[in-house]
């Protein structure tokens, strides 16, 4: 009885499993979109793939090869990752490469895309007509015969045979065609395309309303394309074949022969095929040419320019006029976005959603990073750079100027450093009312990070607005803030060693900067009214300066400070082993960092080690931010209210 009961349970389990598997297999098939691609040389691919094109898009974009390719381990009729060449060995980049990549960027993750690709350079449309192909093969030029033979002298039959096999795995959703150069001037071309399309629908039992045909225009070459006249016939194809859609080639760049697209041209044309197909499938396509109504000009944009813009999803939109360029990218925070060229030579791009705060960026034209002419410039990355602010909501008002709040001044200040025999530049913030009174003020020496300069805290950090707002609310005492380059504008060179990077600034600060500030400004000149703080490498400089010269400073702070491998027992003459002495000398020690940078900068571990040694330290975390200006604005606003109140 027990054995019978067990057998019944097993049978029921197997039945349930089989029932559960059926919809799963069916859904897999429904979620595999297949596209048939045919044509002549521009569908075959005449441009050599570049490095970026050879990076596999993964298993969501697949190719069913129409010929064997032993070198790449491909077998006809067996799905593989869609990496060029898609057509045959020794062919090039095609529009289909970026058609597929565009599709999977927008389609849901569970949907895959597969392509079957049959194309022959120079072939007439008759080469895809079942009742014409035999005669066509007989009269084909010698240079074409090998390509025809690769498809068994019947490219149409090869396409259909593979399509029937592919239908076991997925659903045919469309037909992509790029053909016509060899039929330029043929008044019957549209009717012939109609016959090819009808044959495909009949042989594969497809419904025309479910399987549109996308036909791409030929090379325009700014009105000098070799077969430009064919575009009029292509544009009129929908009059004959009502389910067809025309894909514009306007602005798609080309090879010198003015017959074939170059790699950038194929990428752009392929994206347009993809965007049109996505639209027909009912998906909302995010195109850099279409900017949502809620997008606003970024506050970092030079007045008079419309772009860059930022939309409600925190995506940034860029425009640059470069009609002679063949490839343009936006490089923002190290991630590069390909820009798209419109018919007038304007290149456009849209980013993924960006985190709020300030971002450096460059326009990369032909491999060279340049500054977007439409943006304000900011010194960062060891050079002048473009920058864009992704705005916070009202929570960011603390670093914005506010009505009713008196404004201080940021002064450009040059001084001569005797210790290095050179003129140097600093920026000095003075609080509101400084010009009219006789009061003396405490001083904060505030340093930026590696690869930035003395303008960083006022331009990227909005230090002056933070100070004005804190002083106006009574949270901070009025003070002077001094910002200097710190000798860390130049890139770090490994051979100089970290201990020497920016170390030349220390003697300047002691011998020249502090004495000059005390002479030229109304300062309180004792250590109890002097503080130092810095971000990243400026935090490193702060530790070195303050802890080696406690006679000069009594307050210190580091925002994402580059304080690595701090040996609490030995560092700075063992001062951390004497907590009573340290806590008496340093009235306030502040450390902060972004939650996303903690594994790298380990500020939290530094704070833990100091506390374990008995050192009083105030440690704050900026949630959701990395090694960036929003982290440092937040840290600065938390640090300043604790100064000069002892």
Strand, helix or coil at 394? helix
Which residues are the active-site residues?
41, 257, 260
Q: How far apart are the first and last CA of the chain?
A: 87
Question: CA 427 to CA 481: how far, in whole Å?
Answer: 8
Please say whether the beta carbons of 34 and 114 come within 8 A.
Answer: yes
- Write out the H or E segment, with its range, that includes residue 460: none
Q: Give CA separation, 315 vs 171, 320, 361, 609, in Å.
A: 34, 17, 14, 40
297 forms beta bridges with 309
Cα torsion 542, 547, 552, 554: sign = positive
On whether the CB atoms of residues 242 and 275 are closer than 8 A, the answer is no
Asked if the peptide bond before residue 85 counts as cis, ω within 30 degrees of 0, the response is yes
What burial class does residue 371 get, using C-beta atoms within 10 Å of its C-beta: 0-12 exposed, 13-18 middle, 19+ buried?
A: middle
Packing angle, helices 155-166 and 189-204, rounded to 10: 40
Q: Which two tokens stand for residue 299?
A: 């506050």
Residue 550 tokens, joined: 């406690």
d(CA 207, CA 532): 74
Is the backbone of residue 314 left (phi > 0), alpha (psi -120 to 50) or beta?
left
**8 A C-beta contact, residue 99 and residue 274:** yes
Helix axes 263-280, 95-106, angle to 10 degrees: 40
Distance CA 608, CA 602 (A): 10
Give CA angle at 385 (326, 483), nearest 5°: 175
Contact 642, 618 (CB under 8 A): yes
Residue 588: count of CB within 10 angstroms of its CB:
19
In angstroms, the CA 206 to CA 173 distance is: 9
**Residue 575, number of CB atoms within 10 A of its CB:** 18
Task: Specify the pairing of strand 368-370 against strand 357-365.
Answer: antiparallel
Which residues have a Cβ under 8 Å from the Cβ of 145 and sit 6 or more positions away?
137
């Amino acid at each position: 009885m027990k054995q019978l009961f067990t057998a019944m349970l097993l049978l029921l389990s197997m039945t349930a499993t089989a029932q559960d598997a059926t919809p799963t297999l069916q859904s897999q098939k429904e979620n595999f979109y297949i596209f048939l691609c045919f044509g002549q040389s521009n569908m075959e691919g005449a441009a050599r793939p570049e490095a970026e094109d050879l990076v596999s898009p993964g298993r969501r974009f697949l190719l069913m090869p129409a010929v064997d390719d032993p070198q790449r381990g491909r077998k006809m009729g067996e799905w593989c990752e869609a990496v060029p060449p898609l057509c045959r060995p020794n062919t090039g980049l095609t529009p289909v490469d970026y058609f597929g990549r565009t599709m999977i960027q927008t389609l849901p993750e569970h949907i895959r895309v597969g392509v079957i690709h049959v194309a022959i350079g120079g072939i007439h449309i008759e080469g895809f007509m079942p009742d014409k192909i035999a005669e066509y093969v007989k009269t084909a030029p010698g240079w074409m015969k090998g390509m025809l033979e690769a498809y068994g002298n019947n490219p149409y039959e090869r396409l259909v045979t593979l399509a029937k096999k592919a239908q076991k795995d997925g659903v045919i959703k469309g037909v992509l065609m790029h053909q016509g150069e060899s039929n330029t001037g043929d008044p019957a071309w549209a009717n012939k395309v109609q016959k090819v399309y009808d044959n495909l629908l009949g042989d594969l039992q497809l419904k025309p309303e479910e399987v549109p045909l996308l036909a791409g225009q030929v090379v325009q070459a700014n009105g000098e394309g070799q077969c430009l006249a064919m575009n009029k016939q292509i544009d009129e194809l929908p009059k004959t074949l009502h389910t067809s859609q025309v894909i514009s080639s306007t602005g798609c760049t080309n090879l010198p022969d003015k017959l074939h697209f170059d790699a950038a041209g194929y990428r752009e044309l392929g994206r347009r095929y993809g965007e049109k197909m996505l639209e027909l499938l009912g998906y909302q396509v995010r195109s850099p040419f279409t900017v949502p109504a809620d997008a606003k000009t970024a506050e970092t944009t030079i007045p008079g320019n419309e772009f860059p813009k930022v939309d409600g999803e925190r995506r940034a939109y860029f425009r640059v006029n470069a009609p002679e360029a063949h490839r343009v990218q936006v490089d923002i925070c190290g991630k590069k976005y390909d820009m798209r060229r419109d018919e007038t030579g304007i290149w456009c791009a849209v980013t993924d959603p960006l985190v709020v705060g300030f971002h450096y960026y460059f326009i990369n034209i032909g491999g060279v990073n340049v500054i977007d002419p439409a943006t304000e410039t900011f010194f960062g990355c060891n050079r002048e750079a473009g920058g864009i602010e992704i705005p916070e909501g009202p929570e960011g008002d603390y670093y914005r100027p506010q009505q009713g709040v008196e404004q201080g001044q940021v002064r450009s200040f040059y001084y001569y450093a005797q210790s290095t025999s050179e003129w140097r530049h600093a920026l000095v913030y003075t609080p509101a009312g400084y010009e009219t009174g006789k009061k003396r003020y405490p001083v904060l020496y505030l340093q930026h990070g590696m690869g930035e300069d003395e303008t960083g805290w006022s331009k990227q950090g909005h230090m002056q607005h933070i100070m004005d707002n804190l002083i106006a609310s009574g949270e901070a005492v009025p003070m002077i803030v001094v910002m200097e380059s710190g000798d860390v504008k130049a890139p770090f060179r490994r051979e100089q060693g970290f201990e020497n990077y920016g170390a030349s600034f220390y003697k300047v600060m002691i011998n020249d900067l502090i004495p000059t500030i005390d002479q030229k400004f109304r300062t309180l000149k004792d250590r109890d009214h002097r503080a130092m703080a810095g971000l990243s490498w400026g935090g490193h400089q702060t530790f070195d300066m303050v802890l080696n010269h406690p006679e000069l400073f009594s307050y210190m702070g580091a925002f994402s400070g580059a304080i690595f491998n701090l040996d609490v027992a030995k560092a700075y003459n063992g001062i951390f082993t004497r907590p009573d002495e340290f806590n008496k000398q340093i009235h306030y020690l502040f450390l902060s960092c972004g939650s996303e940078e903690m594994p790298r900068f380990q500020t939290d571990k530094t704070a833990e080690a100091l506390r374990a040694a008995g050192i009083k330290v105030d440690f704050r975390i900026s949630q959701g931010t990395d090694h960036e200006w929003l982290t440092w604005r937040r840290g600065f606003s938390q640090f300043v209210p604790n100064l000069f109140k002892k």
